[in-house]
Structure 1
């Protein structure tokens, strides 16, 4: 793209031609491009008769998982919940004591 540099003559490039001037020459008719030549896929030879990929190894059957002790799992979950609640209560009590100490110091 070219740009024009200069004063008020910059807009002259975009103005309509004056009345009575010669019209621009007509555009040439569009030509259609030739379709591309596609010769088709390359020829292929079939594999020899009886050909198969080699079989390396058959995987072993999956093992059976051990049985789960549902009662034991529930008991461990209960004891873990009790421990978590206990630690939470102790942390809350310590936090209340610290807040009370800070508030008492701010008043005096």
Structure 2
């Protein structure tokens, strides 16, 4: 008959000392990041925000026109 319930994990022993293999290769130091042009980044973000607002305004205008057309069809 199998044991009832969970008897817990099997016992474990700690690994022996020096169990890791020796490391011979050292990773190269990290490279320098390219310098950033903060003014250019800010200008690009401003342009992107302008485009986003423009697209949103056009979409809102289209939705208003379509809503007016649908409401006028229902009322008349």
Structure 1-normalised TM-score?
A: 0.49
**Residue deviations 1:33-67 (CA, integer Å, cap 9, x gap):** xxxxxxxxxxx9x99xxxxx634112211111111
User: What is the rounded CA distance, in whole Å, between the counterparts of 1:63 and 1:85 in structure 2?
Assistant: 38
Q: RMSD value over aligned CA atoms?
A: 2.2
Count of residue correspondences: 59
Q: Higher relative CO (CA 8 A, sep ≥ 6), structure 1 or 2?
A: 1
The residue aligned with 1:21 is none
Misfit runs of 4+, over 6 Å? none
CA distance in 2 between partners of 1:54 and 1:107 (Å): 83
* Match in the other structure for 1:67: 35
Aligned residue for 1:76, secondary structure, equals helix
Q: Residues 21-60 of structure 1 correspond to what in structure 2 (within 5 A)? A: 54-60=22-28
Give the match's secondary structure for 2:22. coil
1:64 counterpart SS class:
coil
* CA radius of gyration, larger in: 1
